[in-house]
Amino acid sequence: MKKIVQIQNLGMKYQSLNGEINALTKINLDIHEGEFVSIVGPSGCGKSTLLSIISGLIKPTEGRVLVDGETVSGTSRKIGYMLQKDHLFEWRTIQGNIRLGLEIQKNITPDTKAYMEHLLQTYGLFEFRHKYPSQLSGGMRQRAALIRTLVTNPQILLLDEAFSALDYQTRLAVNEDIYSIIKKENKTAIMVTHDIAESISMADRVVVLSRRPGTIKEIYSIEIDIEERTPLSSREAPEFQFYFQEIWKELDVHV
Amino acid sequence: MSNTKLELTPGPATSPEHEAFLRSVRMEKIKVRVTQILILVIAFGLWEICAQLRIVDPFITSQPSRVIQTIFTLHQEGVLFHHIAVTCVETIIGFLLGTILGTIIAVFLWWSEFISKVAEPYLVILNSLPKIALGPIFIVWIGAGPAAIIVMTLAISLIVTILEVLNGFIAIDKEKIKLVHIFGGSKTQVLRKVLLPASFPTIVNALKINVGLSWVGVIVGEFLVSKAGLGYLIVYGGQVFRLDLVMTSVFILGIAAAVMYQGVVLFEKIVVKNPK
Ligand SMILES: Nc1ncnc2c1ncn2[C@@H]1O[C@H](COP(=O)(O)OP(=O)(O)OP(=O)(O)O)[C@@H](O)[C@H]1O
Ligand SMILES: [Mg+2]
């Protein structure tokens, strides 16, 4: 399989008047096309920093990231980035919010409009397209934010604790939704989460980072033997508990 | 999703308790309004009676009937609307200019952190300076005329607007801006897609503050230089000891200011759609 993201000897030091913060050091990781990778690690270990570097929003102080074989030097249309909160603009309708990326990329064509409608319809927001964000539930807002990202058709999705604002029930449902969307659209996904269960239930691989400066401690390949794997069915699989304990131990030792 | 609407427009009142509640709310409203009108009527009535009975000297205090008389006289002389128009036009130009220029300057300051840092102490000093002190300078520089009055108005509202709008910009969630960058957006796009729409309510609010400030600027300006306008009538009336003219002008001024403020409130209602 093709290596779509290559992280090579990556390091990041933040400078401030109070001194230097060594956020990441010597990260090496290859991610394959269509793969779902979860990243877990103690708070402040540099997970968001890692995603921001991959997205091209910030430049690493050491090493480099390659996407599709090219060094990342700025934001790119190949990458979609979903933040922790949905950040829907309250002054735009749902449809207006979903158009944002296309507007910015000056890419509103009959094709992209049709794709937008298709996504709205598939993910149950079509009737709500003229509503304002305040009129939607948390789960629907999160889905709208996902469509806003998907409609620009990125190959790679970065999710930074994208579901942590949701209550547990909604979160499970949105996990289900988003997992199926990502698989159906054949995207590559990198997801940062605090929730070990969530990381296992969604991912093909779980990357455990150490305390700051974050570096890779362990990578678990999640092999769950179910035919139509979904986050919920993964949670019920017998292997789930095993992975959970392994990752929990790995994290707990140094937290 | 429609339940948000249901909460806002209560259905038919079924219970007698609810009807009683609605009635009491209506009664309360009526009571307030009646009292307000009563106060006005009594105040003007007392004023008129006291003047009629020579308890106070109407030459110094004027009186409502004379105010009305003065309005008619001014109208007959054909100058009433001229004076009102001069002042209103100066005010409108002043507060529109103040708001627009203030917003533009705020955008510049947001655009360049360097300029903003350099400008900070100057803004602080200019903000605390009583701008009226600059009046004579403007007159000397610009000449005694409407231009000086508008500059005076601008001086009063501009700095406040800049600070207000800039604070609005700074208060915007950085993540919203990050979102635009994620899609590959430029700084101009951040401005157009996030900053301006997000701070639109702040800007309209600045507009509201500026209406009030602009009246101060215009009247002070007219005190200093003008040949027409309500401020001019007030000063002139004071100088020739025609308190009727002064009172009349103050009266008209109050009405004009209230109308303009309500205009901005209406504008806000129309333009700032508030989806609930
Ligand atoms: N712009 C910045 N300037 C200086 N230091 C920063 C900056 N951004 C992050 N840091 C520091 O770098 C470290 C890693 O931050 P980061 O946000 O990547 O951690 P994280 O793993 O995402 O944390 P969390 O789990 O709490 O979200 C933290 O100690 C943080 O204080
Ligand atoms: Mg983070």
pLDDT tops 60 at residue B220? yes
pLDDT, one tens digit for every residue, chain A (255 residues): 789 999 999 999 999 999 999 999 999 999 999 999 999 999 999 999 999 999 999 999 999 999 999 999 989 889 999 988 899 999 999 999 999 999 999 999 999 999 999 989 888 899 999 999 999 988 889 889 988 998 998 999 999 998 887 788 888 988 888 898 888 888 999 999 989 999 999 999 999 999 989 999 999 999 988 888 899 999 999 899 999 999 998 887 554
Contacts of B200 in chain A (CB under 8 A): 91
Pick from A29, A33, A28: nearest CA to A1: A33
Question: What is the pLDDT averaged over residues B8-35?
Answer: 84
pLDDT band at B11; cut points 50, 70, 90: low
CB–CB contact B182 A100 (8 Å): no
For B183-207, the DSSP string reads TT--HHHHIIIIIHHHHHHHHHHHH
On whether the CB atoms of residues A178 and A146 are closer than 8 A, the answer is yes
Q: What is the pLDDT of residue B8?
A: 46
DSSP letters along B234-268, please? Answer: HHHHHHTT-HHHHHHHHHHHHHHHHHHHHHHHHHH
Residue B7, pLDDT above cutoff 50 = no
**What pLDDT is attached to residue A182?**
86
The residue type at B157: S
pLDDT band at B227 (very low <50, low <70, confident <90, very high): confident
Instruction: Give me the percent of chain B exceeding a pLDDT of 70.
Output: 94
Residue A39 CB–ligand 1 contact under 6 Å: no
Which ligand places an atom closest to the C-alpha of A17?
Answer: 1
Contact B179 A131 (CB under 8 A): no
Q: Is A82 helix (H, G, I), strand (E, B) or coil?
A: strand
CB atoms within 10 A of CB A79: 25
Q: Is B182 in contact with A75 (CB distance < 8 Å)? A: yes
pLDDT of residue B1: 40
Q: Say how far apart CA A81 and CA A54 lie, in whole Å.
A: 10
Closest-CA residue, ligand 1 atom 30, reads A44
Residue A203 has what pLDDT? 94
What is the structure's pLDDT at A174?
Answer: 81
Cα distance between residue B156 and residue B167, in whole Å: 18
B271 against B267, higher pLDDT: B267
Task: Tell me what pLDDT residue A207 has.
Answer: 96
A23 near A187, Cβ under 8 Å?
A: no
User: Quick check: bond before A238 cis, omega within 30?
Assistant: no
pLDDT score at B2 = 41
Closest CA to B165 of B114, B215, B108, B206: B206
Q: Which among B1, B176, B178 has the least Cβ separation from residue A57? A: B178
Give the containing element (helix H, strand E) for B21.
Answer: helix B16-52
Residue A224 sits at the chain B interface (C-beta within 8 Å): no
Amino acid letter at B244?
D
Q: List the beta bridge partners of residue A220.
A: A206
Indicate whether this complex's ipTM tops 0.90: no
DSSP A128: G
pTM confidence score = 0.82
* CA gap A179, B59 in Å, rounded: 85
Distance B187 CA to ligand 1 centre (A): 24
Reported as a pLDDT band with limits 50, 70 and 90, residue B13 is low
Residue where the block lists tokens 């140094």: A254
Per-residue pLDDT at B12: 60
CA-CA distance, A228 to B83, in Å (whole number)? 81
Residue in the block written with tokens 């700095």: B159
Residue linked to tokens 């096309």 = A33
Atom of ligand 1 nearest to the CA of A16: 4
A151 CA: distance to closest CA in chain B (Å) = 11
Whats the size of chain B, residue-wise?
Answer: 276
Residue B214: Cβ within 10 Å count: 29
Q: Which helix (H) or strand (E) holds B212?
A: helix B196-225
Q: Does A128 touch chain B (CB under 8 A)?
A: yes
DSSP line for A116-170: HHHHHHHTT-GGGTTS-GGGS-HHHHHHHHHHHHHTT--SEEEEESTTTTS-HHH
Taking the C-alpha atoms of residue B133 and residue B152, their distance in angstroms, rounded to an integer, is: 10
The radius of gyration computed from the CA coordinates of chain A, to the nearest angstrom, equals 18
Residue A187 in tokens:
């995207």
Q: Inter-chain contact A136–B198, Cβ cutoff 8 Å?
A: no
Chain B hits for A101, CB-CB cut-off 8 Å, are 183
Rg of chain B on CA atoms, in Å: 25
The pLDDT of residue B5 is 41
Q: Which two tokens stand for residue A65?
A: 């990231």
Q: Could you give phi then psi for residue B14, rounded to 5 degrees?
A: -90, -40
Would residue A152 be called left, alpha or beta, if left means φ above 0 and alpha means ψ between -120 and 50 degrees?
alpha
Residues 6+ apart with CB under 8 A from A8: A28, A63, A64, A65, A66
pLDDT tens for B115-153 read 999 999 999 999 999 988 888 899 899 988 889 999 999
Q: Is B182 in contact with A75 (Cβ distance < 8 A)?
A: yes
> How far out from the chain centre does Cα B53 lie?
38
Give the pairing type, strands A216-221 and A62-67.
Answer: unpaired
Query: Among candidates B276, B260, B243, which has minimal Cα distance to B67?
Result: B243
